Amino acid sequence: MSIQEVQLKVNPLLGQKTWGVSLGFGSFLTLEFGQPLPPSNEHQKIHGEWHLWLYNCVWRLEEEDRILAASGDERDQLETAIHRLDNLTLQSIDLLPPAWDAVFTFEHQVVLRLFAIYSQNYDHWFLYAPDGNVLSVGPGSCWSYGSSTAIPA
């Protein structure tokens, strides 16, 4: 499976605005894209048509020539910095072999960089798609695209 195949799965995000950016457990980070979907129950968080979940990877958020935050920073700093991503248009996604590091570039020179930290056992990040499938990136240089029965984070 090639990097071009993965690129085709993420390209529909280009030109879409983020919303609902949220810090989860530890440094897990989620971003919503597209129209909000109705929750299946009253306790479920509202997600977008596209739901990006940074799972077992480290990340760094930059703006122009400044680092706003990195996933290992104090939680208060992360909570403040991630809101810079809200309501920004995604301009490009670069996928870097062999470990599927990724660079998400938004308007106003805001950049979110993802780095793999596991070569085995753990997925790096997930992209839930409107067609009911999920792109699972990692571990190592592995990836898959298939039906999602799990509720997104």
The pLDDT score that the predictor gives to residue 118 is 82
Residues of the chain with pLDDT under 70: 1, 149-153
Could you tell me if residue 123 is inside a domain?
yes
Does residue 9 lie in a domain region? yes
Confidence (pLDDT) at 151: 44
Which pLDDT belongs to residue 150? 56
Residue 152 is predicted with a pLDDT of 52
Number of domains into which the chain is organized: 1
Query: Residue 24 gets which letter from DSSP?
Result: -
pLDDT for position 122: 86
Are 50 and 16 in contact, with CB atoms under 8 Å apart? yes
Establish if 152 belongs to a structural domain: no
Q: Does any domain span residue 7?
A: yes
Residue 61 lies in a domain: yes
User: Is residue 153, in this structure, part of any structural domain at all?
Assistant: no
| Residue matched to tokens 């020539």 | 65
Q: Which domain holds residue 82?
A: 3-147
- pTM listed for this prediction: 0.91
- pLDDT for the residue numbered 27: 86
Which CATH number fits the domain that encloses residue 91?
2.30.310
Measure the CA angle with vertex 51, ends 78 and 129; round to 5°.
160
Averaged pLDDT of the chain: 91
Give the pLDDT of residue 98: 84
